[in-house]
Structure 1
Amino acid sequence: MSTGKSMEAALSELRRAMTGLESAVDARIDREREHGDADNEVRRVHADRARLAQELDQAEFRANRLEEVNREVSRRLVTAMETIRAVLDR
């Protein structure tokens, strides 16, 4: 094989290697970008979850408070009805 042909073969192999390297770098960049997108999505989901958990806690607190108020109103109504019956029975 002549020097010119071996040089051409070496250059051709180098071009193929460079193309493969560029493809590998592009693929790596794409994977990193997808990984970054996934990380951002996970952070967003965690933030949403924290917000929803806080809203749920507040709703549960309000529901418990409403139950307490409802029991108190019911107790007062029973007392008022008993008082009215007692007055009417006299």
Structure 2
Amino acid sequence: MSKAIDDALLQLTTALTRLEAAVGQRFEAERDPGDLETELAIMAEDRARLAAELDAASARLATVEAATDDVGRRLGRAIATVEGVLVPSGRPR
């Protein structure tokens, strides 16, 4: 083959390779919106699940805080009762 034919075949091969790459990118680009929609749907589901878990954890925290306050009040009364028994009436504590 002549140099001109070899050069032309090289240019043709390069052009075909670039065309194949462009077609592949185009197919990927067309496929991405569906993938993006799926990913967004998964993220929305995760967000909803996490929000529900946060709400449940907040409710448990409120319950624990209320119980802690109640225990604190009862402990305060118990301490006052024990001090009242240990410290005779009329004497400073």
More helix by share: 1
Higher relative contact order (CA 8 A, sep 6+): 2
CA distance in 1, matches of 2:33, 2:79: 68
Match of 2:50 in 1: 52
What TM-score comes out, normalization by structure 1 length? 0.65
Shift of 1:46: 0.3
Match of 1:62 in 2: 60
| Structure 1: segments with no counterpart, 5+ residues | 1-19
What TM-score comes out, normalization by structure 2 length? 0.64
| Structure 2: segments with no counterpart, 5+ residues | 1-18, 89-93
Match of 2:39 in 1: 41
CA distance in 2, matches of 1:55, 1:39: 24
Match of 1:75 in 2: 73
